[in-house]
Structure 1
Amino acid sequence: MKPTESDASAARASGSWAPPSAAGDLDAPLRLKNDGDVVAAIPYLLGFQPRESIVALVFGDKALITTVRFPIEIADAPAELAHRVDTIGRQFPGSSWVFAGYSTDRRRVERAISQMTTMIGADRVLESVYAHAGRYWSLSCTVPQCCPPEGRPIDVEGSPIAARAVLAGMQVLDSRSDLDASIRPPRGWLGRAALRRVEDARTVVRGLELHEIETSFAELVRHGLEDPRQIVPTQAAMLAAMAYYPSARDQALRLLTRHDAQRHVDFWRAVAQLTPRECQPPVLGLLGLAAWVNGEGALQVVCIERAEKVAPHHPLISLLAEINAAAAPPDLWDELRADLFGTQA
């Protein structure tokens, strides 16, 4: 079963489904007030337009804690679905949920959301929505005059939610496959050339002391973070060769903070695009962690899935999978980083 995709977004939400609160005073870029806002925001929260999916928005005190995408086929495995929902529910006790289903089959969405509502408890579900072909329908509304049978049009690009999301630096890819393509390794003769560069880099690295590897790796990372667009193939090869060493990877993680996580995502994505498939797992592990800290859960899962095909038991990928399974929020990194390195965000 594929991992669920947890995007613990920094976005805030004030909902029309609950009594008013001070949420309107928050300075975050997104405020979700109704079903239309939810449907408009979800592609930006995930980073791509979902299809054949159930998306759960999990709220605490009207603040959006995390956004999780479940592949719709997970509803065909009730035990697995129950485990996923229970894990998230225990991670965020007392939370409230909003469900949005995306599929050509409305009945399948309704069955899946009904299962999840039963699992989480109907009193904790604020709203459920079905979206398809540019329109959406409330699955919770019982007032015939309120919701037209033909649904309401989705105006994602023209909505105020989209404008605020773009200003906040969010972007939407057309599909999840586009997200996967953004970290695809070089192929054909480019892939063979990339592998030769990594082999040459490994020869150089084997001649260094461990402390030299750690120092050189940290310097390469710092230099690359200044402008990820300037990474060249020989630098990427050296980074991939050095990332084999756990203590070298620690140097990159020491530099990672929530404040500059986007730069780390851009940097490690650029390195991944220049790294041959056989050598990608540690690079994808570093990219996946940066994606998690940056609130890009879908990218985190894509990194897990791609790396597991090459090195299913790589420790960094296993850690990423545990983080995903627990739906751990990005702010947990502040605590982990302090524990690991004795540093503050």
Structure 2
Amino acid sequence: MTATTALDRFTVGSCEDLLALIPYLIGYEPDEALLVMTHCDGAVAQSSCMSRALVDEPDSLTPIIGSMRAATPGSEFIVVGYGPPEWADAAVMTVRQELRPGEMLCCLVVTDRLFWDVGAGEVPGLAPGHEFDPSTSPVAVQAIASGMSAYASRDELVAVVAGPGDPGPDEAAAWDVACECLGWPPGRQRAFVDDCLADAVEAGRRLDRERLRRLCVLAGGPMRRHVMVRTGLDEDDPAAYEQLWADAVTIAPARWAPPVLGLLGIASWRRGGGALLSEVIARLEALDPASGMILVLTDLRTRRPPRGRRRPHR
């Protein structure tokens, strides 16, 4: 289950637009899942995307619906079931039975690129359904232009934060060499970090493994505050920060992973949070349950990021 706060308002004029936008709101393309969102004051306030396994657990939905209702009193609910029509329709119906009069805004069942508006009385299998193509939706274009992105699946998203596992002898030796930067003068450390950020964020270049290792070491040590401030408040596109810290997480063994996971979480929050932020928090809880970043990111997940001006990549 994930929970997030939608950050940008979009003009959603049809069910097709809504379905095109959903992957960008939650961070990935849902499949065999039940999505429940609360809508208030023209914006999505919360979303929860539940796996089929969770949905099939007895009485699993009631506390989730109650929690979302309590978090945003007076909201309307959007419910979308993804997967085999019979299962998805039953899942949506279970939520509808939990809703109070006037709470239902939209209820859809989606299979591949076909949907049924079950809230309007359409029945999968009896009604022909509506074809849709997310790539033709102007809302999807707007989402991409605003810096949002969507992974192809939840598994692909999870893989981003999974890390490389235990390093072999050569990789362990390379990390020992990277740690030599801890002995550099502070001015050299900061200059190195700023050069990395200039290349990766401002110029959009991917860093090689040697530079990434040193950046991980410094981000977890003397330059921690500096990179946290840059990642959280910089005017550059947060998508570039997300890519940088995702690259760092990909190579960082467990010892060095928590700081860069925290930075990935901050960058993800600036882009809209969603499932990537939730997965970052989950891995931090597994690696370092005492990490203060868990509380920071958990709090950020309930907030809207600042809408600062973004500088274009040079």
Same fold, TM exceeding 0.5? yes
Match of 2:32 in 1: 52
SS in 1 for 2:119: coil
8 Å contact kept, 1:240–1:279: yes
Match of 2:215 in 1: 239
How many pairs are equivalent?
303
Question: Which amino acid counterpart does residue 130 of structure 1 have in structure 2?
Answer: V
Match 1:330 to one of 291, 304, 308 = 304
Match of 1:261 in 2: 238
Indicate how the Cα distance of structure 1 residues 279 and 99 shifts in structure 2: closer, same or farther if over 3 A, else same.
same
8 Å contact kept, 1:51–1:103: yes
Question: Which amino acid counterpart does residue 161 of structure 1 have in structure 2?
Answer: V
Indicate how the Cα distance of structure 1 residues 320 and 213 shifts in structure 2: closer, same or farther if over 3 A, else same.
farther
SS in 2 for 1:157: helix
**TM-score normalised by structure 1 residue count:** 0.73
Question: Which amino acid counterpart does residue 277 of structure 2 have in structure 1?
Answer: Q
Deviations 1:32-81 (A, max 9, x none): 12322222221232332101212223322222334432223333456664
Match of 1:311 in 2: 288
8 Å contact kept, 1:128–1:140: yes
Q: CA deviation at 1:241?
A: 1.9
SS in 2 for 1:50: coil
Match of 1:133 in 2: 112
SS in 2 for 1:140: helix
More off after superposition, 133-142 vs 171-180: 171-180
The answer to whether structure 1 residue 162 and structure 2 residue 136 are counterparts is no
Instruction: Report the Cα distance in structure 2 between the residues aligned to 1:66 and 1:220, rounded to whole angstroms.
Output: 38
Deviations 1:230-274 (A, max 9, x none): 4222222122223334x7433223221385422321221222233
Structure 1 residue ranges without an equivalent (≥5)? 13-29, 335-345
Match of 1:32 in 2: 12
What are the residue-to-residue correspondences of 1:69-218 with 2, within 5 Å?
A: 69-77=49-57, 81-104=61-84, 106-107=86-87, 109-119=88-98, 121-142=100-121, 149-183=127-161, 185-186=163-164, 192-205=169-182, 207=183, 215=190
How big is the alpha-carbon RMSD for the aligned residues of Structure 1 and Structure 2?
3.4
8 Å contact kept, 2:178–2:214: yes
8 Å contact kept, 1:41–1:161: yes
Match of 1:275 in 2: 252
Instruction: Report the Cα distance in structure 2 between the residues aligned to 1:143 and 1:131, rounded to whole angstroms.
Output: 12
Match of 1:229 in 2: 205
Match 2:225 to one of 250, 253, 274 = 250
Q: Percent identity?
A: 22
**TM-score normalised by structure 2 residue count:** 0.79
8 Å contact kept, 1:213–1:248: no
8 Å contact kept, 2:82–2:110: yes
Match of 2:7 in 1: 10
Indicate how the Cα distance of structure 1 residues 313 and 101 shifts in structure 2: closer, same or farther if over 3 A, else same.
farther
The answer to whether structure 1 residue 289 and structure 2 residue 266 are counterparts is yes
SS in 2 for 1:6: coil
Structure 2 residue ranges without an equivalent (≥5)? 308-314
8 Å contact kept, 1:217–1:251: no
